[in-house]
Chain A
Amino acid sequence: MEIRPILSALLRSKTGALLIAAQVALTLAILGNAVYIVQDRLAISARPTGVDEENVFFIRLYGFREGIDVPAMLDADLASIRAMPGVRAVATANMAPLTQSGWNLSVQPNENNPDGESTNTAFYFSSEDLVDAMGLELVEGRYFTPDEVQVIEPSLANIDPRHTVLSMALAKQLFPDAQSYVGKAVFLGDSRMEVVGVVERLQSPWAQLGDAAERSMIVPIRQLDPVAQYVVRTEPGQLDRVMREVEDHLVAARDDRVLLRNTSIQEARANRYRADRSLAWMLVAVMGLLVLVTASGIVGMASLWVNQRRKQIGVRRAIGARRRDILRYFLVENFMVTSFGIAVGLGLALALNQLLVDALEVPRLPLAILPAGVVALWALGLLAALGPAWRAARIPPAEATRSV
């Protein structure tokens, strides 16, 4: 291999080579970090809620007159929604996953624990079958029976639940060593709740980062607020129609309330992750431009080198170098420059990541992602150099005689 002569030629005109290497290094540093951030954000925004998302929506109406007979209002609404075609299940619910507002409380796995080994959890309540209405998967125990439902008038009493269904993540957090959870007790202040069942997954309304999003519990409560809130699960493919019909019906049913919100879980998901997804796509766009700019830089510089050396190429060809020797020369030269840039770029990528981790809430770059970046930049460099190198190889030996 002719590495030594290429290297000595490079060392004679360092400027261009250093510029390309610098560009490759910066590209690798930015690309590596951006790719990982994109991956991370898209993964976060794809986390499942545990709900049958394609077929579930959440509707809230506010009864604004004083003195509304709340139980009668809820029962009438439930009965009429249940009777509508395409409705599979309906339940009252104080909140729904991904809708970004709701109840958050802290509970404890044992009594008399004033020092507070407490765990924050999303606090769902319903007086009907929420597991059925959300399409959750019950993996242990059972759901509540109707006689376990507590009716609470908030101006007169605070909630005091006796039974609960936990999400698997919350159960594991509260009882890390247990094999099964049914029959265990969970404490909310002075209230002792017996665990009657566990669902595989039920995300919180906020879908925070990390495990906090997965910790949630359901209790059998009907709170007599004048806000009517329902989770409705439809037959497959009928969501849009049922959503519209339920809304029309509930709005028309009484003149003492206004619609607060009607959202499918899928819409709520798009809303919750809008910023994450558009940041990801913004970074993808910058990455695309970055690759184009770097490639054009390599093409430009390689062309310049070829033009500067037309005569030398002609001479080499005239004294016996084959076309592919010339092609190889330029490709190897480019490979060396790119490799130097990549070596520096690996360090830069880690340094940039350190900076981002220190200053912002950005996850640490896993080293496993870097080899892919290295290979991609080698490929980019070779592809970009191929054209100019090909043109160099077409330079005829006669070029040696053109000008002196």
Chain B
Amino acid sequence: MFAYYFKLGLRSLRRNPVLTALMVLTLAVGVATSMSTLTVLRAMSGDPIPSKSDRLFVVQVDNQPAETPEGEPPTAHLSWIDARELLEAGDGLRRTAMYAVGGVAEPEGEAGNLLVNGLAVGADFFPMFDVPFRHGGPWSAEADARGGTEVVLSAAFAERLFGDEDPTGRRLRIFEREFVVTGVLAPWQPMPKFYWLIGGNNRFGETEDVFIPLQTAIANESNPNGNVNCSGDGPEPGYTGLLNSECVFMQYWVELADAGERTAYRERLGAYVEGQKALGRLPVGERSRLLDVREWMVEQDVLGDDTILQTLLALGFLLVCVVNTIGLLLAKFTAHAGEIGVRRALGATRTQVFQQYLVQAGVVGAAGGLVGLGLTFGGLWLLARQSEEVAAVAHMNPVMLMATLAVAVVAAILAGLLPTWRACKVVPAIQLKTQ
């Protein structure tokens, strides 16, 4: 029976072409605006590392001065003093401190000097964040400790410098030093770049070009290529002054064996803070905290207010379109009253009429969904112009593609309920009399 009703529905699309076109278009634009904004919203609020987002934690050691008002969140970064102490304590399954470095690469050959974005990390960084390698691998823990000259390149950067060949073991001059390539990443772009969210204006953009051992960056006195926040009296001059100061510029991540260990780690962090307090540091250190990946993304406003705002307004627009479709379906079905009368007189039950017209509404929805799908691509293209961040995430994917069609059909069926209800209330006798 469904197939027959479906065929009738398709045929009735042609019956009132203007009315039908209006309905299909109304649904299409409503669905397209909602789905394109929802696609962006969904991509921006996605979990970048689902397998372990509940056991990777940012550690925020609050070293703000005593007069910091109650309720002020800890600084997003921490100082090298605290990062070094936490690394030495060696707590948790894996751990790394990191900070962004920048400079120039001087490759051999024709390529010429080029600017390089780097991240100084520990060897644990790669297994912690499930970083995939194409060639080679991370440097050793021993290289970590001695501040070795190993470097890991991103896929794009390696290709730019060395083309398709495996550069493992090759020498590369960056940041005014000789490095040896120990590994090349496979294409890797977590959305967002959750491990380093602060500084840099594209949190959905490419990963850093190079990764070097943290101790190496510190030994080379590589200045932070990003935010440095200093409270209190500020640092002594120079790089050593920065390292020994309460200026914050590092991120500290820890991976725990399972999410249940969080409380235990939090307690050990509390003990560390107490120890530092005894030394006269961390006046508000008790505000230090752990945030897992999702909490960290919320804290850092990865999902901007504007994205939510435009999605809300687009959904409001979809609601108007649905209300409009109710009216148009009402008009269409009212015009069918005569036909419904004949069907009822020939023995169709109310339920059958109800089913038939609901399927008809669904067919309108499906048509709206197909047109809407095309418009959704257009909508995404327009949204992508908002910023590089949105451009990086404004792509259609199979889930949203199916969702677009589903939303259109569901919206049309919801809109069709009232008109269909009215249609099956048609009294056959009156209709037959007026024919």
Mark A residues whose CB is within 8 Å of B.
Answer: 15-16, 19-20, 22-23, 26-27, 29-30, 33-34, 37, 62, 64-66, 100, 114-116, 154-158, 189, 258, 260, 274-275, 278-279, 282-283, 285-286, 289-290, 293-294, 296-297, 300-301, 303-304, 308, 352, 356, 359-362, 403
Specify which chain A residues have a CB less than 8 angstroms from the CB of B434 in the assembled complex: 403
Within 8 Å of chain A (Cβ to Cβ): is B75? no
Q: Which of B1-31 contact A (CB under 8 A)?
A: 19, 22, 26, 29-30
Residue contact B327 to A33, C-beta cutoff 8 Å: no
Specify which chain A residues have a CB less than 8 angstroms from the CB of B114 in the assembled complex: 258
How many whole Å from A314's CB to the nearest CB in chain B? Answer: 16
Given contacts A290-B317, A296-B26, contact A22 B323 (CB under 8 A): yes
Given contacts A37-B309, A157-B237, A158-B237, contact A30 B316 (CB under 8 A): yes
Residue contact A282 to B319, C-beta cutoff 8 Å: no
Give complex CA distance A16, B330 in Å.
Answer: 8
Given contacts A282-B382, A361-B305, contact A301 B234 (CB under 8 A): no
Within 8 Å of chain A (Cβ to Cβ): is B422? yes
Which listed residue (A100, A304, A359, A403) contacts B330, Cβ 8 A? A304
How many whole Å from B65's CB to the nearest CB in chain A? Answer: 8
Given contacts A30-B317, A356-B309, contact A19 B176 (CB under 8 A): no
Q: Which of B100-157 contact A (CB under 8 A)?
A: 103-104, 113-115
How many whole Å from A29's CB to the nearest CB in chain B? Answer: 7
Residue contact A158 to B234, C-beta cutoff 8 Å: yes
Give complex CA distance A115, B319 in Å.
Answer: 53
Within 8 Å of chain A (Cβ to Cβ): is B97? no
Residue contact B312 to A356, C-beta cutoff 8 Å: yes
Specify which chain A residues have a CB less than 8 angstroms from the CB of B319 in the assembled complex: 26
Specify which chain B residues have a CB less than 8 angstroms from the CB of A360 in the assembled complex: 305, 308-309
Within 8 Å of chain A (Cβ to Cβ): is B297? no
Residue contact B306 to A279, C-beta cutoff 8 Å: yes
Within 8 Å of chain A (Cβ to Cβ): is B413? no
Give complex CA distance A304, B334 in Å.
Answer: 9
Which listed residue (A27, A286, A308) contacts B334, Cβ 8 A? A308
Give complex CA distance A18, B22 in Å.
Answer: 20
Which listed residue (A30, A155, A156, A352) contacts B320, Cβ 8 A? A30
Residue contact A286 to B317, C-beta cutoff 8 Å: yes
Which listed residue (A23, A100, A114) contacts B323, Cβ 8 A? A23
Given contacts A62-B104, A282-B382, A297-B324, contact A155 B238 (CB under 8 A): yes
Specify which chain B residues have a CB less than 8 angstroms from the CB of A352 in the assembled complex: 316
Interface centre among B26, B33, B114, B327 (most CB of A within 10 A): B327
Give complex CA distance A34, B26 in Å.
Answer: 20
Give complex CA distance A196, B333 in Å.
Answer: 79
Residue contact B104 to A301, C-beta cutoff 8 Å: no
How many whole Å from A18's CB to the nearest CB in chain B? Answer: 10
Within 8 Å of chain A (Cβ to Cβ): is B430? no
Give complex CA distance A154, B326 in Å.
Answer: 70
**In the complex, which residue of chain A has the Cβ closest to the Cβ of B323?**
A23
Give complex CA distance A285, B381 in Å.
Answer: 14
**In the complex, which residue of chain B has the Cβ closest to the Cβ of A348?**
B316
**In the complex, which residue of chain B has the Cβ closest to the Cβ of A285?**
B382
**In the complex, which residue of chain A has the Cβ closest to the Cβ of B229?**
A104
Specify which chain B residues have a CB less than 8 angstroms from the CB of A258 in the assembled complex: 104, 113-115
Give complex CA distance A65, B422 in Å.
Answer: 81
Residue contact A286 to B26, C-beta cutoff 8 Å: no
DSSP majority for the B interface? helix
Residue contact A293 to B330, C-beta cutoff 8 Å: no
For B78-109 the 0/1 string (1 means CB < 8 A from A) is: 00000000000000000000000001100000
Mark B residues whose CB is within 8 Å of A.
Answer: 19, 22, 26, 29-30, 33, 67, 103-104, 113-115, 176, 201, 233-239, 305-306, 308-310, 312-314, 316-317, 319-321, 323-324, 326-328, 330-331, 334, 382-383, 385-387, 390, 418, 422, 434
Chosen A-B contacts, 8 in total, with CB atoms closer than 8 Å, are A19-B327, A100-B201, A115-B67, A260-B115, A278-B387, A279-B306, A300-B328, A300-B331
Given contacts A279-B386, A360-B305, contact A296 B326 (CB under 8 A): no
Give complex CA distance A360, B310 in Å.
Answer: 11
Specify which chain A residues have a CB less than 8 angstroms from the CB of B418 in the assembled complex: 15
Specify which chain B residues have a CB less than 8 angstroms from the CB of A30 in the assembled complex: 313, 316-317, 320
Residue contact A64 to B323, C-beta cutoff 8 Å: no
How many whole Å from B287's CB to the nearest CB in chain A? Answer: 18
Residue contact B323 to A289, C-beta cutoff 8 Å: no
Residue contact A286 to B323, C-beta cutoff 8 Å: no
How many whole Å from B424's CB to the nearest CB in chain A? Answer: 15
Give complex CA distance A362, B312 in Å.
Answer: 13
Given contacts A158-B234, A282-B382, contact A294 B334 (CB under 8 A): no
Specify which chain A residues have a CB less than 8 angstroms from the CB of B22 in the assembled complex: 296, 300
Residue contact A297 to B327, C-beta cutoff 8 Å: yes
Given contacts A30-B313, A115-B67, A286-B317, contact A19 B323 (CB under 8 A): yes
How many whole Å from B303's CB to the nearest CB in chain A? Answer: 11
Give complex CA distance A247, B30 in Å.
Answer: 48
Residue contact B327 to A290, C-beta cutoff 8 Å: no
Residue contact B29 to A301, C-beta cutoff 8 Å: no
Residue contact B324 to A293, C-beta cutoff 8 Å: yes
Residue contact A189 to B234, C-beta cutoff 8 Å: yes
Residue contact B320 to A294, C-beta cutoff 8 Å: yes
Give complex CA distance A189, B26 in Å.
Answer: 62
**In the complex, which residue of chain A has the Cβ closest to the Cβ of B422?**
A15
Residue contact A293 to B320, C-beta cutoff 8 Å: yes
Given contacts A30-B317, A360-B309, contact A155 B330 (CB under 8 A): no
Residue contact A293 to B321, C-beta cutoff 8 Å: yes
Which listed residue (B104, B239, B309, B314) contacts A155, Cβ 8 A? B239
